[in-house]
Amino acid sequence: MRIGISGLGNIGKRHLELLSALPPVDVVAAVEPRLGGDASAAGMPLSVYGAFDEMLEKASLDAVVIASPSGMHAEQGAAAAEVGVHVITEKPLATTMGAAESLVAACASRGVRLAVVHQYRFHAPLVRLKKEIDGGALGKVVFLNVSLCWRRSTAYYAENGGWRGTWKWDGGGALMNQGSHAVDLARWLVGPIATVTALTTNVVHAIEGEDTACVALEFARGGLGMLQVTTCSSENRPAVVTIEGTEGAAVVRGEQLAVNGRPVELRSEHVRQVPLGNPHRLQFEAIFDALANGERPPVAGDESRETLAATLAMYESARSGRAIRVPESRLSSSAS
Ligand SMILES: NC(=O)c1ccc[n+]([C@@H]2O[C@H](COP(=O)([O-])OP(=O)(O)OC[C@H]3O[C@@H](n4cnc5c(N)ncnc54)[C@H](O)[C@@H]3O)[C@@H](O)[C@H]2O)c1
């Protein structure tokens, strides 16, 4: 399968390295305006283009991995779909609902698959936590908490044209960028979100969007949740996910899972790989398996669209100071 990567920045370079070592794919091309077509600068034997359309036109791709600034995902994905190329995009799917709908529709109408990178769904302790929840071991979920307390420097927001933290290219700040992981995890672990009440602020960074957000959730099937996201911590702390249920409680802190206070040993039956696999790699393997078998890949575009809808509702809540109802999921009416 011939793959092209859009954007060789922070995550794109890591994807290039990872995908180059993955047997079913052959990374033949990339787009990186900063390299000005200099293939040697990519450090791999592949064609490097200065513009996305040029790569699509010349590289005969089967699939594209989009790791450009978030505000470009939908337009680049739709252009790829238009010429029959499968789309795997980094999160978030898009930064507006209109753009997300156009991308999902473009992929559906051209018969190509659309997958979104939400690698935490492949993180071993969270995979096991989901099994505990779905198997009923924790009873009915009372509370979910997700805490992403990370540090991002001033330079992080300034580099590569300063797109991060802008409304146009990042879709906001920490909540849209880092927080889309938390929103997706909440939906995946517990289910659809019915209403959100959000507070956002800037503690450190002078960016258009927020660097800190706190969101209260009401789940459609009952139970409440809280998301905390910041890029202002003194260091990157492990992500923490806690579930309080009517029959038990569980905590994931980084690589560790404890259920009812007891550490759980994560063995091969809970994950696809021992030692615990790289979640990005596990998701890519699952996506390429699905593409090879003509199946719906994880996490499909229409599912990620619901994560975006919930995130945008949080921004509306922060702006208006009101609880906002998340638009009803349309998952049952479309699939790609
Ligand atoms: N899943 C994750 O854990 C994760 C982690 C980091 C970033 N991301 C996502 O990946 C995307 C990129 O983030 P990043 O931190 O790597 O940013 P980055 O700025 O390091 O990389 C983006 C790259 O895209 C390039 N670029 C600019 N215009 C382009 C265009 N028209 N076509 C192709 N490339 C273009 C930039 O020059 C830059 O090198 C974002 O959407 C972000 O949300 C996801």
For residue 332, the model assigns a pLDDT of 54
With the most atoms of ligand 1 within 8 angstroms of its CB, the residue from 5, 8, 10, 52 to mutate is 10
Instruction: Say what the pLDDT of residue 58 is.
Output: 96
Q: What is the CA radius of gyration of the chain?
A: 19
Domains of the chain (ranges, CATH numbers)? 2-119 (3.40.50.720), 120-272+299-325 (3.30.360.10)
pLDDT for the residue numbered 334: 43
Look at residue 2 and tell me whether its pLDDT is greater than 70: yes
User: Which of 90, 118, 150, 284 is the pocket-test mutation for ligand 1 (most atoms within 8 Å of CB)?
Assistant: 90
- Residues lining ligand 1, CB < 6 A? 6-12, 31-34, 52, 67-70, 72, 90-91, 117, 119, 160, 177
Tell me which of 33-37, 65-69, 177-181, 331-335 is least confident.
331-335
Is-contact 38 48, C-beta < 8 A?
yes
Q: Is the pLDDT of residue 39 over 90?
A: no
What digits encode the pLDDT tens for the residues 62-84?
Answer: 999 999 999 999 999 999 999 99
Residue 38 has pLDDT above 80, yes or no: no
CB 117 within 8 A of CB 283: yes
For residue 159, the ligand 1 atom closest to its alpha carbon is 19
- pLDDT tier at 44 (50, 70, 90 boundaries)? confident
Position 331 confidence tier, pLDDT thresholds 50, 70, 90: low
CB 183 within 8 A of CB 174: no
pLDDT band at 266 (very low <50, low <70, confident <90, very high): confident
Q: Which of 110-114, 136-140, 278-282 is the least confident region?
A: 278-282
Q: Could you give the C-alpha distances from 120 to 11, 20, 53, 139, 252, in angstroms and in order? A: 15, 21, 31, 23, 12
Examine the pLDDT at 249 and tell me if it is beyond 70. Answer: yes
- Phi and psi torsions of 250, nearest 5°: -140, 150
Residue 200 has pLDDT above 90, yes or no: yes
Strands (E) in 85-135, as ranges, are 86-90, 114-117
276-316: pLDDT as tens digits: 568 999 999 999 999 999 999 999 999 999 999 999 999 99
Nearest atom in ligand 1 to 117's CA: 1
Spatial CA neighbour of 165 closest among 117, 206, 127: 206
Q: Whose CA is nearest to atom 34 of ligand 1?
A: 7
**Is the dihedral angle over the CA atoms 290, 295, 298, 300 positive or is it negative?**
positive
Task: Ligand 1 pocket test: pick from 61, 72, 160, 181 the residue with the most ligand atoms within 8 Å of its Cβ.
Answer: 160
How remote is the CA of residue 121 from the centroid of ligand 1, in Å? 20
**Is the pLDDT score of 267 beyond 80?**
no
Region 87-95 average pLDDT: 98
pLDDT-derived band of residue 36, with 50, 70 and 90 as boundaries?
confident
Single out the residue of 227, 91, 242, 257 nearest to residue 148, CA to CA. 227
Atom of ligand 1 nearest to the CA of 70: 41
Render 199-241 in DSSP notation, one character per residue. Answer: EEE-SS---SS-SEEEEEEEETTS-EEEEEEESBSSS-PPPEE
- What spacing in Å lies between the alpha carbon of 18 and ligand 1's midpoint? 16
What does the pLDDT read at residue 276? 52
